[in-house]
Structure 1
Amino acid sequence: MKKKQRALGRPRKEQGAMATEEIILHTATGLFLEKGFQHVSMDDVAKKCNVTKATVYYYYKTKTDLFMDSMIKLMVRIRERSSAILSTDEPLKTQLFQFASAHLKATVDIDINTFMKEAKITLSQEQMEEMKKAEDALYNELESALTRSMERGEIRKCNPRLATLVFVNLLTVKNSMDESYQNSFDSVEDLAKELVDFYWNGLAGGN
């Protein structure tokens, strides 16, 4: 009986399809964050994963598709971590510090502003909308936490959406720091504390 030929690029069953896809996605995310979209090829991803290029193309038809999935999954991981932090009974300032620390650690090697500009050039309108949904989900978690704190009287009432955007953008200030100034902070936590203190003085009136 003639053996049925498997589809080109399809990984062998014993490899574990889900495991292979996860390895490709995890590896590609690291490469994109390290080198940027333009400087990463599908061949680079395949070599790093120790699989054939056909295997990478089996899961992702284009590098753009792989990039989009990588970034969305990254945002989802950050959101899930942030959601866990913001759903605790800790005081808001403690939550903001933990949020800032987690966010800075997740983006320590990324110039977010440059990275997103590159994404806008690379991705289609539909793909950008998918990324925006993932980004908005993160903002919504923080906005809800700020709103709850306002309702409890922990902080003064203001526009919670604006307060959310200001805080998230404040965390990108490290992209404007030169290396020597970044190194003046002993750790990510030290930078997070200074940023949160600066933000808190305006949000809570210095209390």
Structure 2
Amino acid sequence: MEQIKRPLGRPPQDSKKKPTKTTIIENAIQLFLQNGYQLVSMDDVAKKCGVTKATVYYYYPTKADLFTDAMVQMMLRISDRIADILSTDKSLKENLNDMVKVHLRATFEIDLKAFTKEAKVSLSDEQLQQMNSVEEMMYNVIEKAMTTAIEIGEIPNGNPKFYTQLFLAILSVGNYRDTDQNSIFATIDEMAEHIIDFFWNGIMGNK
């Protein structure tokens, strides 16, 4: 039987292992989050994946391409996780509290503002648009939960997009660190409780 040939230049693939592209993305996400955009090289990614630099370049011609896809894939996973949390039988307030704690634990050691600002100057308009589109999908998941809560009378009638952006703005306070890298509150649970209470009291008003 004639042997099926791989496309010219394609790195060899072991069917028993995770796809090479998936391995590259997962390790790239970790490296970018740990070290920032500028300090991570394609060679760093290759070494962490246990592949050649040529293999990384086969899938991603530039570091900006790799970073863009890494962030897109990360945000898609976050969207799925958010959807899972917000689709439980708990109340919206309980689900949002769970979501805040998951977010804060995942981003505890990351300076999100600096991380995002550093990377954006190196990306093309098209790459930024890719990331913005997926980011909007994450917002839509939360907005859908707000809309449902309005429809069933769990929260007052209002603009669900405004509620969503208000929630995200308050959530960002949880990533604040002073010059000694200390958070506002001692624990993530305490921080989450204050974020949710502030948001909830704000939208519920006198209800």
Report the TM-score when normalising by structure 2. Answer: 0.88
User: Alpha-carbon deviation of 1:154?
Assistant: 1.5
**What fraction of aligned residue pairs are identical, expressed as a percent?**
45
Aligned-residue CA RMSD in angstroms?
2.2
Correspondence for 2:186: 185
Runs of at least 5 residues in structure 2 that lack an aligned partner in the other structure? none
- 1:78-105 CA-partner distances (Å, limit 9, x unpaired): 1000011112221110011011112222
- 1:95-118 CA-partner distances (Å, limit 9, x unpaired): 110111122223222222222222
Correspondence for 2:28: 28
User: Alpha-carbon deviation of 1:206?
Assistant: 6.6
Matches within 5 A, 1:167-178: 167-178=167-178
Per mean C-alpha deviation after superposition, the further-off stretch among 173-182 and 59-68 is: 173-182
Instruction: Indicate how the Cα distance of structure 1 residues 156 and 14 shifts in structure 2: closer, same or farther if over 3 A, else same.
Output: closer
Distance in 1 (alpha carbons) for counterparts of 2:206 and 2:69 = 41
Matches within 5 A, 1:101-180: 101-178=101-178, 179=180
Correspondence for 1:199: 199
Runs of at least 5 residues in structure 1 that lack an aligned partner in the other structure? none
User: Alpha-carbon deviation of 1:17?
Assistant: 8.1
1:203 counterpart letter in structure 2: I
1:152 counterpart letter in structure 2: I
Distance in 2 (alpha carbons) for counterparts of 1:15 and 1:50 = 16
- 1:169-207 CA-partner distances (Å, limit 9, x unpaired): 222213332246428423x23321221111111112276
Report the TM-score when normalising by structure 1. Answer: 0.88
- Say whether the 8 Å CA contact 2:28–2:67 is kept in structure 1: yes
Greater share of helix residues, 1 or 2? 1
- Say whether the 8 Å CA contact 2:177–2:183 is kept in structure 1: yes
Matches within 5 A, 1:39-58: 39-58=39-58
State the aligned residue count. Answer: 202
